[in-house]
Structure 1
Amino acid sequence: MTIRLKFGTPEPGVAYEPRPTAFGLAFDAQGRLACVEVDRGEGPYLDLPGGALDGDESESEALAREFGEETGLRVRAVARIAEASQLFRKTDGHPVDNQAGFWIAEVLAAEPGLKCEDDHALVWIRPEEALRRLRHEAHAWAVAVWLRRG
């Protein structure tokens, strides 16, 4: 994947590890967006559900797995709507370049047994609120892409 749109300001002299990722935009019947509030002891932040591809997973496979692990929802990737990268440092300080595909995800079922990431909590919020609160600029941009599709 060749990413042309990049978010984040690179720190001089820092090498960012390329990290293929997939994130999902899923909505409930009231039009609210599924997000995850992550709290690892340094204050909570908001992300779209998703994460890194494992091994030879496709984006849609990684999205379904990560969504379940973080939210307890079983989803299906429906349509890839955007791609962008985000430079940042993970919680452990490791610099990464999240090279993300952003997908519309259909919620198939609530399956609490899928959830295994205790520091992630599912929250449903209005997309406009997500624009203000999402930690990563690339995530907010993907929500804006969806909103503009109308």
Structure 2
Amino acid sequence: MSETTETHFLCNVTQKAVTVGPTGDVLLVQHPRGTWVVPGGRINDGETAEDALRREMHEETGLDVRVERPVLTATDLWRNDDGDPMFTVVYRCRADERSVTLNEEHEDYVWLTPAAAAEQVRGQRLGLAIERAVSGR
């Protein structure tokens, strides 16, 4: 019997929200380093994935969102404060309003057309998540 040489991917899990507003535009937030991203965060012990994403969205943007469906999973989008990779699940979310109140985690926000948002965000994979969220894939 041969010994296995595989190594397991150890990571934190984060969730992000491609939030589609009432007129079909997409919310981006600006990270303190200047990059534009979609908001979201980690799951706390005892939370469901949907509850955690709704909580993070409310904390970061003041928006109450409906979490709809995953549009992308990735291990190469974010790293934690120690530089370790994070497993990210990006969801399509819906917001009935556009009134955003940012917390201290972000510098600014913008609502953009889906095409403009996909071009503005950091990285092609996040742009792909936006495209999938608005196209129904």
Fold shared per TM-score above 0.5: yes
Select 2:14's aligned residue among 11, 21, 25.
21
Q: Percent identity over the alignment?
A: 21
Q: Deviations over 1:127-147 (max 9, x none)?
A: 111211211443222111123
Once structures 1 and 2 are overlaid, which stretch shifts more, 101-110 or 25-34? Answer: 101-110
> What's the CA shift for 1:120?
4.1
- Is contact 1:67–1:75 with CA below 8 Å preserved after alignment? yes
> What's the CA shift for 1:118?
4.3
CA–CA distance in 1 between the matches of 2:107 and 2:66?
20
- Is contact 1:33–1:124 with CA below 8 Å preserved after alignment? yes
Q: TM-score, normalised by structure 2?
A: 0.74
- Is contact 2:21–2:95 with CA below 8 Å preserved after alignment? no
Q: Which residue in the other structure is 2:130 paired with?
A: 143
> What's the CA shift for 1:73?
1.5
- Is contact 2:17–2:38 with CA below 8 Å preserved after alignment? yes
> What's the CA shift for 1:34?
0.9
> What's the CA shift for 1:76?
2.5
- Is contact 1:81–1:104 with CA below 8 Å preserved after alignment? no
Give aligned pairs, total: 130
Q: TM-score, normalised by structure 1?
A: 0.69
Unaligned ranges ≥5, structure 2: 1-7
> What's the CA shift for 1:80?
0.8
- Is contact 2:91–2:133 with CA below 8 Å preserved after alignment? no
The structure having more radius of gyration, on CA atoms, is 2
- 5 Å-filtered alignment, 1:36-115, equals 36-39=29-32, 43-77=33-67, 79-87=68-76, 90=79, 92-107=81-96, 110=99, 112=101, 115=102
Whose strand proportion is higher, 1 or 2?
1
Q: Deviations over 1:27-51 (max 9, x none)?
A: 2343210111111xxx401111112
